Amino acid sequence: MLAQIVLFDGFDLLDAIAPYEVLWAAGAAAGGALSVELVTVEGPRQVASGPGGVMIPAAATLDLDRADLIVVPGAAGRISGDGPDTIPAILGRTMETGLPGVLEAALAKPRLTVATVCGGSLLLAMAGLLKGRPAVTHQMGMEVLGATGAIATAARVVDDGNLVTGGGVTSGIDVALHLVERELGPRIAHAVEKLFEYERRGTAWKRTGLEPVGI
């Protein structure tokens, strides 16, 4: 199984690197059953992150024929104001790349799972890919998420089958651990939690079971 974490100029470092470490550790714990790589839609290149422009090498091209899991981080920058370093501007430039089209094709493949961390779900939402689907993002972006037609769902992790979304920046750890448990089983997920000395927060929201009433 291959997980590809998609980088784009201005991506948030923790959104990408936290899932990378979790998925890499899970692959090691599972005897190589899962591998993970950093990719871009354009191919191998150095990618500047949002915080301070730290350069991270992407080793491969986002490839829907190879990947089983695709993780999309959010952007990092100023929240408000004008200028090219704001989160809306970074996401807007990313919308002009080939990434939204590839993600649309990925969501059309039942065997593929697309996961997002923090503002990564806003990137999909801005492309019109989350209409009618439950999803979460950073708390400051929930109103924007709902305005795109997504069902803004207040949970740490939202699992809607081939779409898994996470809330704020640190939710990338929870998203990755949820994916590990779902794909490799709870014993591998527990082993990684123990290694990282981290316990997941909350229950992953799913569109299953009884619907709560009166609370």
Look at residue 79 and tell me if it is in a domain: yes
Q: Is residue 59 in a domain? A: yes
User: Rounded mean pLDDT of 88-98?
Assistant: 94
Does residue 101 lie in a domain region? Answer: yes
- CA–CA distances in Å: residue 1 to residues 27, 29, 36, 83, 206: 9, 14, 9, 40, 23
Q: Which of 143, 105, 107, 108 is nearest to 122 (CA)?
A: 143
**What percent of the chain is modeled with pLDDT above 90?**
89
Binning pLDDT at 50, 70 and 90, where does residue 187 land? very high
- Domain-located, residue 144: no
pLDDT average, residue stretch 120-126: 96
Residue 116 forms part of a structural domain: no
Mean pLDDT of the chain: 95
CATH of the domain at 64: 3.40.50.880
Residue 122 falls within a domain, yes or no? no
Mean pLDDT of all residues in 48-64 = 94
Q: How many residues comprise the chain? A: 215
Among residues 118, 145, 164, 169, the one annotated as catalytic is: 118
Pairing between strand 60-61 and 35-40? parallel
Confidence band of 215 (pLDDT split at 50, 70, 90): confident
Contact (Cβ atoms closer than 8 angstroms) between residue 3 and residue 35: yes
- The number of folded domains in the chain is 1
Domain assignment present for residue 120? The answer is no
Q: Is residue 64 part of a domain?
A: yes
The residue range of the domain holding 15 is 2-107+169-206
pLDDT-wise least confident of 56-65, 149-158, 188-197, 201-210: 201-210
Q: Is residue 118 flagged as an active site residue?
A: yes
- pLDDT band at 182; cut points 50, 70, 90: very high
Contact 138, 119 (CB under 8 A): yes
- In this predicted model, what pLDDT tens digit does every residue of 5-24 receive, in sequence order? 999 999 999 999 999 999 99
Q: Say whether pLDDT at 81 is over 90.
A: no
